[in-house]
Structures are given as C-alpha cells and as structure tokens.
Amino acid sequence: MSKKNKRPDSERAMALKALPRSIREQLTEEETDLFLNGEEWPESMFKKLEEFIVPKE
C-alpha cells in the first residue's frame, strides 16, 4: 500500500478537522498529507501551525 493510499490516523484526522479553516487552507496538499501520515514535518508546517503545537514533555 502506498503512502498516498494509507488511511490516516483518526486522531490526526480529527486534529486537522479541528484547525480553523483559514489555517487548513494555508496547507499545501503535500503538507496536508504529511500532517495526516508523516513522521517528520517540514519547517514550513511548524511555522503555519506554531500557535497550535503543544511541546512534548
């Protein structure tokens, strides 16, 4: 199964849906795929989502 066809984690899908529409619309298709399935995010995503990211303790 390719990464594109991989079913996203339900918690990640809920988190994406919970973001404000204006933020979701800023994400590129690649960034959205990385949000749902990626192990590492590019710096551009951290900048777009920085107000929603809670540091891991």
pLDDT tens-digit series, residues 14-56: 999 999 999 999 999 999 999 999 999 999 999 999 998 887 7
Domain boundaries, the chain: 10-52
Q: Identify the pLDDT of residue 3.
A: 52
In this prediction the pTM is 0.76
How many helices (H) and strands (E) would you count in the chain? 4, 0
What lies within 8 Å, CB to CB, of 29 at 6+ separation is none
Q: Identify the pLDDT of residue 23.
A: 95
For residues 24 and 29, what is the distance between their CA atoms, to the nearest angstrom?
10
pLDDT over 60 at 1, yes or no: no
Residue 51 or 2, more confident:
51
